[in-house]
Protein backbone atom coordinates (compact mmCIF):
# COMPACT_ATOMS: atom_id res chain seq x y z
CA UNK A 1 0.00 0.00 0.00
CA UNK A 2 1.30 3.45 -0.91
CA UNK A 3 2.15 5.53 2.12
CA UNK A 4 0.41 8.85 2.72
CA UNK A 5 3.59 10.87 2.24
CA UNK A 6 4.23 9.15 -1.10
CA UNK A 7 0.75 10.06 -2.33
CA UNK A 8 1.23 13.64 -1.21
CA UNK A 9 4.56 13.94 -3.02
CA UNK A 10 3.12 12.43 -6.20
CA UNK A 11 0.12 14.77 -6.16
CA UNK A 12 2.29 17.83 -5.56
CA UNK A 13 4.61 16.83 -8.43
CA UNK A 14 1.61 16.36 -10.73
CA UNK A 15 0.33 19.80 -9.73
CA UNK A 16 3.57 21.58 -10.64
CA UNK A 17 4.02 19.55 -13.83
CA UNK A 18 0.52 20.50 -14.96
CA UNK A 19 0.92 24.13 -14.02
CA UNK A 20 4.31 24.85 -15.53
CA UNK A 21 4.49 22.37 -18.43
CA UNK A 22 0.99 21.55 -19.65
CA UNK A 23 -0.48 24.35 -21.83
CA UNK A 24 -3.83 26.00 -21.06
CA UNK A 25 -3.42 25.38 -17.33
CA UNK A 26 -5.87 28.17 -16.49
CA UNK A 27 -8.62 26.35 -18.34
CA UNK A 28 -7.80 23.03 -16.67
CA UNK A 29 -8.06 24.46 -13.15
CA UNK A 30 -10.87 26.91 -13.88
CA UNK A 31 -13.34 25.18 -11.49
CA UNK A 32 -10.65 25.08 -8.80
CA UNK A 33 -10.03 28.80 -9.24
CA UNK A 34 -13.75 29.41 -8.69
CA UNK A 35 -13.69 27.15 -5.61
CA UNK A 36 -10.77 29.11 -4.16
CA UNK A 37 -12.68 32.35 -4.75
CA UNK A 38 -15.70 30.90 -2.96
CA UNK A 39 -13.60 29.83 0.04
CA UNK A 40 -12.08 33.31 0.11
CA UNK A 41 -15.42 35.12 0.10
CA UNK A 42 -17.00 32.62 2.47
CA UNK A 43 -14.14 33.37 4.86
CA UNK A 44 -15.21 37.02 4.89
CA UNK A 45 -18.82 36.02 5.40
CA UNK A 46 -18.09 33.53 8.17
CA UNK A 47 -16.08 36.03 10.17
CA UNK A 48 -18.84 38.58 9.61
CA UNK A 49 -21.39 36.25 11.16
CA UNK A 50 -19.05 35.40 14.05
CA UNK A 51 -18.69 39.11 14.89
CA UNK A 52 -22.39 39.92 14.61
CA UNK A 53 -22.21 41.46 11.18
CA UNK A 54 -24.77 40.70 8.51
CA UNK A 55 -23.97 39.28 5.07
CA UNK A 56 -26.02 41.01 2.40
CA UNK A 57 -24.86 39.05 -0.63
CA UNK A 58 -21.98 37.17 -2.26
CA UNK A 59 -20.77 37.45 -5.84
CA UNK A 60 -18.55 34.96 -7.71
CA UNK A 61 -17.61 36.17 -11.20
CA UNK A 62 -16.78 34.13 -14.29
CA UNK A 63 -13.25 35.60 -14.38
CA UNK A 64 -12.48 34.07 -10.96
CA UNK A 65 -12.90 37.27 -8.95
CA UNK A 66 -15.52 37.83 -6.29
CA UNK A 67 -16.69 39.87 -3.35
CA UNK A 68 -18.99 39.73 -0.34
CA UNK A 69 -21.22 42.64 0.64
CA UNK A 70 -21.22 42.90 4.42
CA UNK A 71 -22.71 45.36 6.91
CA UNK A 72 -21.26 45.75 10.38
CA UNK A 73 -18.72 47.47 12.56
CA UNK A 74 -15.46 45.51 12.96
CA UNK A 75 -13.95 45.50 9.47
CA UNK A 76 -10.41 44.45 10.46
CA UNK A 77 -11.60 41.05 11.71
CA UNK A 78 -13.58 40.48 8.52
CA UNK A 79 -10.56 41.25 6.33
CA UNK A 80 -8.40 38.79 8.28
CA UNK A 81 -10.94 36.07 7.54
CA UNK A 82 -10.21 35.64 3.80
CA UNK A 83 -6.82 34.10 3.20
CA UNK A 84 -6.26 32.34 6.52
CA UNK A 85 -9.77 30.83 6.56
CA UNK A 86 -9.57 29.44 3.02
CA UNK A 87 -6.18 27.86 3.79
CA UNK A 88 -7.45 26.38 7.07
CA UNK A 89 -10.50 24.94 5.33
CA UNK A 90 -8.31 23.49 2.55
CA UNK A 91 -6.07 21.88 5.16
CA UNK A 92 -9.05 20.40 6.99
CA UNK A 93 -10.35 18.86 3.76
CA UNK A 94 -6.93 17.45 2.90
CA UNK A 95 -6.50 15.95 6.36
CA UNK A 96 -9.92 14.30 6.30
CA UNK A 97 -9.33 12.77 2.87
CA UNK A 98 -6.07 11.23 3.99
CA UNK A 99 -6.78 10.32 7.61
CA UNK A 100 -10.54 10.30 8.19
CA UNK A 101 -12.01 9.05 4.94
CA UNK A 102 -15.17 7.81 6.67
CA UNK A 103 -16.06 11.45 7.26
CA UNK A 104 -15.21 12.57 3.74
CA UNK A 105 -18.68 12.06 2.31
CA UNK A 106 -20.25 14.16 5.05
CA UNK A 107 -17.73 16.96 4.40
CA UNK A 108 -18.70 16.90 0.73
CA UNK A 109 -22.35 17.29 1.72
CA UNK A 110 -21.42 20.17 4.03
CA UNK A 111 -19.47 21.93 1.30
CA UNK A 112 -22.25 21.36 -1.22
CA UNK A 113 -24.71 22.79 1.30
CA UNK A 114 -22.55 25.88 1.83
CA UNK A 115 -22.29 26.45 -1.92
CA UNK A 116 -26.05 26.19 -2.45
CA UNK A 117 -26.81 28.21 0.69
CA UNK A 118 -24.48 31.01 -0.43
CA UNK A 119 -25.95 31.06 -3.91
CA UNK A 120 -29.55 31.28 -2.70
CA UNK A 121 -29.56 33.04 0.68
CA UNK A 122 -26.76 35.47 -0.25
CA UNK A 123 -28.04 35.90 -3.78
CA UNK A 124 -26.45 38.70 -5.78
CA UNK A 125 -26.83 37.64 -9.42
CA UNK A 126 -28.04 34.73 -11.53
CA UNK A 127 -24.52 34.11 -12.88
CA UNK A 128 -23.01 33.87 -9.40
CA UNK A 129 -25.71 31.50 -8.16
CA UNK A 130 -25.33 29.29 -11.24
CA UNK A 131 -21.55 29.11 -10.68
CA UNK A 132 -22.01 28.03 -7.06
CA UNK A 133 -24.63 25.43 -7.94
CA UNK A 134 -22.40 24.13 -10.76
CA UNK A 135 -19.50 23.74 -8.31
CA UNK A 136 -21.82 21.85 -5.95
CA UNK A 137 -22.84 19.56 -8.81
CA UNK A 138 -19.20 18.86 -9.73
CA UNK A 139 -18.42 17.86 -6.15
CA UNK A 140 -21.43 15.53 -6.00
CA UNK A 141 -20.50 13.95 -9.34
CA UNK A 142 -16.89 13.31 -8.32
CA UNK A 143 -17.81 11.90 -4.91
CA UNK A 144 -20.60 9.66 -6.20
CA UNK A 145 -19.09 8.35 -9.42
CA UNK A 146 -17.56 4.92 -8.85
CA UNK A 147 -14.98 5.57 -11.57
CA UNK A 148 -13.30 8.06 -9.23
CA UNK A 149 -11.59 7.10 -6.01
CA UNK A 150 -10.42 9.15 -3.06
CA UNK A 151 -7.16 10.00 -4.85
CA UNK A 152 -9.05 12.25 -7.27
CA UNK A 153 -10.53 14.19 -4.38
CA UNK A 154 -7.17 14.26 -2.62
CA UNK A 155 -5.70 15.86 -5.75
CA UNK A 156 -8.59 18.34 -5.84
CA UNK A 157 -7.90 19.50 -2.29
CA UNK A 158 -4.10 19.58 -2.57
CA UNK A 159 -4.47 21.60 -5.77
CA UNK A 160 -6.91 23.98 -4.07
CA UNK A 161 -4.56 24.40 -1.12
CA UNK A 162 -1.47 25.00 -3.28
CA UNK A 163 -3.46 27.43 -5.41
CA UNK A 164 -4.38 29.39 -2.29
CA UNK A 165 -0.79 29.51 -1.02
CA UNK A 166 0.68 30.54 -4.38
CA UNK A 167 -1.85 33.38 -4.70
CA UNK A 168 -0.76 35.00 -1.45
CA UNK A 169 0.29 38.11 -3.38
CA UNK A 170 -3.13 38.32 -5.04
CA UNK A 171 -5.71 37.73 -2.32
CA UNK A 172 -3.93 39.65 0.46
CA UNK A 173 -3.21 42.62 -1.80
CA UNK A 174 -6.88 42.84 -2.77
CA UNK A 175 -7.89 43.18 0.89
CA UNK A 176 -4.87 45.04 2.25
CA UNK A 177 -6.08 48.13 0.40
CA UNK A 178 -8.97 48.22 2.89
CA UNK A 179 -6.98 46.79 5.80
CA UNK A 180 -4.34 49.50 5.27
CA UNK A 181 -6.87 52.21 6.21
CA UNK A 182 -7.19 50.64 9.67
CA UNK A 183 -3.60 49.59 10.44
CA UNK A 184 -1.72 52.19 8.42
CA UNK A 185 1.21 52.17 10.89
CA UNK A 186 2.39 48.75 9.70
CA UNK A 187 3.40 48.49 5.99
CA UNK A 188 1.12 46.41 3.79
CA UNK A 189 3.84 43.97 2.70
CA UNK A 190 4.46 43.11 6.36
CA UNK A 191 0.84 42.03 6.74
CA UNK A 192 1.09 40.04 3.52
CA UNK A 193 4.21 38.18 4.68
CA UNK A 194 2.76 37.64 8.16
CA UNK A 195 -0.41 36.04 6.78
CA UNK A 196 1.62 33.89 4.40
CA UNK A 197 3.80 32.66 7.29
CA UNK A 198 0.69 31.77 9.31
CA UNK A 199 -0.72 29.78 6.40
CA UNK A 200 2.59 27.99 5.77
CA UNK A 201 2.86 27.04 9.46
CA UNK A 202 -0.70 25.67 9.47
CA UNK A 203 -0.09 23.74 6.25
CA UNK A 204 3.26 22.36 7.42
CA UNK A 205 1.76 21.20 10.70
CA UNK A 206 -1.13 19.55 8.85
CA UNK A 207 1.15 17.72 6.40
CA UNK A 208 3.29 16.52 9.29
CA UNK A 209 0.19 14.96 10.87
CA UNK A 210 -0.84 13.41 7.55
CA UNK A 211 2.48 11.67 6.90
CA UNK A 212 2.89 10.55 10.51
CA UNK A 213 2.74 6.75 10.68
DSSP structure string for 12-50 = HHHHHHHHHTSS-HHHHTHHHHHHHHHHHHHHHHHHHHH
Residue of 77 and 124 predicted with greater confidence: 124
* Mean pLDDT on 159-163: 79
Q: Is the pLDDT higher at 43 or at 151?
A: 43
- Residue that wins the pLDDT comparison between 69 and 72: 69
CA distance 14 to 183: 40
Which pLDDT band, with edges at 50, 70 and 90, does 117 fall under? very high
Torsion angle of C-alpha atoms 10, 23, 203, 74, degrees rounded to 10: -160
Over residues 46-50, the mean pLDDT reads 79
- Smallest CA-to-CA distance from 210 within 2, 8, 1 is with 8
For residues 82-100, give the mean pLDDT: 79
The pLDDT tens digits of the residues spanning 130-144 come to 999 999 998 888 877
Mean pLDDT of 4-17: 78
Q: What is the pLDDT of residue 208?
A: 85
Q: Which residues contact residue 153 at a Cβ distance below 8 angstroms, ignoring those fewer than 6 apart?
A: 97, 104, 108, 142, 143
The average pLDDT across 8-15 equals 80
Q: Are the CB atoms for 22 and 41 separated by under 8 Å?
A: no
| Nearest-angstrom CA–CA distance, 105 and 19 | 28
3-class SS of residue 148: coil
Q: Is residue 1 very low, low, confident or very high in pLDDT (cuts 50, 70, 90)? A: very low
Q: How many CA atoms lie within 13 A of 50 on its CB side?
A: 13
CB-based contacts of 129, cutoff 8 Å, min separation 6? 119, 120, 123
Looking at residue 72, what is its pLDDT? 64
Amino acid sequence: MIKNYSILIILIIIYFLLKYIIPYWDYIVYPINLMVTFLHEFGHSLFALLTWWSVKSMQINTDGSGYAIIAGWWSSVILIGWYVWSAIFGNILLYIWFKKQKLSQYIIYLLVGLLIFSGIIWFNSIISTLILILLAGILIFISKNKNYNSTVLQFLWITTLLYIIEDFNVWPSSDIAKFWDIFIIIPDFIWMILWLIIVLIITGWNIKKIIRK
